[in-house]
Structure 1
Amino acid sequence: MLILTYKKTFSLWLLLAAALLFPCAVQADITIKDSQREITFNETPTRVATLSWELAEDVIELGVTPLVVPEIKAYQEWVAKPAMPSSTMEIGNRAEPNIELLAQLKPDVILISDTLKSLRPRLERIAPVVFFDTYRADHNNAKQADWTFLTIAKLLNKTDMANKKLAERDRVLMALKAQLNSAFPNGVPPVTSIRFASTTSAYVYGHNSMPQYALDLLGIKSALSLPTSQWGIHQQRLKKLKAVENGIVLYFKPFYQEQKLQASRLWQAMPFVINKQTASVESTWTYGGAMSLKYLAEALTAALLTVAL
């Protein structure tokens, strides 16, 4: 009996010593709160399925390769940054992921946004689901993007990296703002950013849109006043952009009718075109995650600098 007690005590001491010497070997549960509920994981997920682009961005920025992402070719064209890892698999489209394939791949966790909210019960038969209500009219989409990023970072044991990324974003924004102030000594004129729907209509980014949040952080006012919406966008007939008389209009690529637009009389009659106060913006995702604000600010600044020349 004494021998058994001694062995048990000795084993306990070994476990305690291991915990002190190798703290990573003993991991506490991870509890996070998504947009609906609190979820606890026994260990850090490694096989992470991301079923929306903004969540895929966050995971990649944190140095984790997503197991799956929808519409990878389109992501590479429209989102571009951060680059999609070559080992990430295609999982169908953003509205209808391939659930059968997802089940076969056995992820540790599935990250979804509002588009797939109704599928949560079905997806939970495969793996724990973390839901993020990323874009809404009644909250600040930029702040929500940061909260989502930090929540995912906690889940993936990457909080230190996330904080460093956000600090780096702030430093980049300050540098870009100084660059613009130097290029526009009298102040940057008000700016409106758009994405063309056709040669006669456009989606105008206003309050609660990520492009406008990026412009706000650069100290630039909007050239048009628009009401708040879920995505911060409003589709307008192109002729309504005539209201931007003394401001700058920047339009996001890709736009495959750009040559046709440039030749149209309607476009040529715009005050900002006549005054050479317009430029294209390299492809940058306008509905992205926390770090997309940095990429948007960089792309918008590069376009504005062409106007300042």
Structure 2
Amino acid sequence: MLRIAALLLCLSTSAMARDNPPGRVAALSWGLAETLVALGVDPVAVADVEGYRTWVGMPALPDGVRDVGLRTEPNLEALAEAAPDLILASDNQADIIPELSGIAEVWHVEGFDAGQDNAEVARRTLLDLGAKLGREGEAQAILDDVDARLAAAGDRVRRHFDGNPPSVVPIRLLTPTTVRIHGANGMALAALEGMGLTHPDPGEPTEWGFVQRPVEDLAVYEEAAVVNFVPFPASDELFGTQLWSFMPFVRHGRFAEAGPVWTFGGALSVASLAEAMADALVTIDPEAVR
């Protein structure tokens, strides 16, 4: 009898959670903020609002959302003043979850880790958050739309290259001497694979899905197209050098720039990455890859 009563109580509590989802939600990572807004929920607070608007952009944060400081060091007093019912936290806030729990319920997601499939975790996070907020239908509709956008972006690239697109190396130039090469376990690679395109050497999975290398290491990509995510403020310092002009993908016209677009976001940003890369790739002359 006690077991039956406990089960009924559990079911009743679950039903109440579905019927009374959290109304005031704060997001301390840009990926979770992106996911929250995509689900149609305006956050009451977000960490580093200006950074989100600069690097992520879409979906746009509502006017008046409270900025609670850095993602790595959120202002707990400002967060408490926002009076959230639920705080969405990720990797950067793992060490302060006890403090956050003193303000409101905390929903923690390990967004990026070498031991997991980051893109799959992002999709599952969207579905789980949708369920928690009573927006399961919206979450599934977003994923369906993401998949459709990925397919459309891939089709556009294949048409441009007459069905024979090149392999693609997504990069972000950091300085005139250093570059991030995006590969295994990265959102950029998830976008490429969703488009039906390939990376010539994705490497081993890393926490964030990229490796940092000297710019000269890009010379190994003799046949691939290389797509750089902007902004790159030091472009004048690199693009006029002999080193850059001798890169195979530069000499043969297989270099293009994409974005601005965020490379460490949630499931929705994978579609934005795909569309940005497609926009870049179709500027390359098809003859350059024959």
State if a TM-score over 0.5 links the two structures.
yes
Give, in whole Å, the separation in 1 of the partners of 2:215 and 2:82. Answer: 46
**Which residue number corresponds to residue 217 of structure 1?**
194
Q: How does 1:164-243 map to 2 (within 5 A)?
A: 164-243=141-220
The SS at the match of 1:60 is helix
Q: Does the 8 Å CA contact 2:151/2:196 hold for their aligned counterparts?
A: no
| Contact 2:147 2:194 (C-alpha < 8 Å) held by counterparts | no
Contact 1:224 / 1:244 at 8 angstroms: preserved in 2? no
2:22 maps to 45
Kindly tell me the number of residue pairs found equivalent between the two proteins: 274
Q: Deviations over 1:149-198 (max 9, x none)?
A: 11111111111011111111112222222211111115111110111121
The question of 1:150 aligning with 2:127 is answered yes
Match of 1:15 in 2: none
Q: Look up the SS of the partner of 1:30 in the other structure.
A: helix
Amino acid at match of 2:261: T
Aligned AA (1:138): G
8 A Cα contact 2:111 2:122, kept in partner: yes
Higher-Rg member (1/2) = 1
After TM superposition, the structure 1 stretch with the greater mean CA deviation from structure 2, 79-88 or 194-203, is 79-88
Which moved further from structure 2: 213-222 or 54-63?
Answer: 213-222
Find the residue that maps to 1:251 and give its secondary structure: strand
- Name the aligned partner's letter for residue 143 of structure 2: L
Q: Is the 8 A contact 1:81 1:284 kept in 2?
A: no
1:8 aligned residue:
none
**1:80-119 alignment, distance < 5 Å:** 80-119=57-96
CA distance, structure 1, for counterparts of residue 219 and residue 202 of structure 2 = 13
**Which of 241, 245, 250 pairs up with 2:222?**
245
Q: Identity of paired residues, percent?
A: 35
d(CA) in 2 for partners of 1:86 and 1:96?
23
Look up the match of 2:16. Answer: 29
Instruction: Name the SS of the counterpart of 1:94 in structure 2.
Output: coil
Q: Which runs of 4+ in 1 moved over 2 A?
A: 27-31
- For residue 29 of structure 1, report the CA deviation from its aligned partner: 2.3
- Give the deviation of 1:44 after TM superposition: 1.0
One-letter amino acid of the counterpart of residue 131, structure 1: H
Measure, in 1, the Cα distance between the counterparts of 2:276 and 2:39: 22
**Structure 2 equivalent of residue 141 of structure 1:** 118
Q: Corresponding residue for 2:262?
A: 285
Aligned 8 A contact 1:78 1:254 in 2: no
Deviations 1:250-295 (A, max 9, x none): 1111111122221122111101000110011111110100111111
Q: Secondary structure of 1:194's match?
A: strand
- Measured after TM superposition, the shift of residue 146 of structure 1 is 0.5
Superposed displacement of residue 220, structure 1 = 1.3
Give 5+ residue unaligned stretches, structure 1: 1-26, 32-41
Farther off after superposition, 255-264 or 211-220? 255-264
Equivalent position to 1:75, from 39, 52, 55: 52
Question: Matches of 2:36 and 2:283 in 1, distance apart?
Answer: 33
Contact 1:193 1:211 in 2 (8 A): yes
The alignment's C-alpha RMSD in Å is: 1.6
Tell me the distance in 2 between the aligned counterparts of 1:196 and 1:117: 29
3-state SS in 1 of match to 2:282: helix
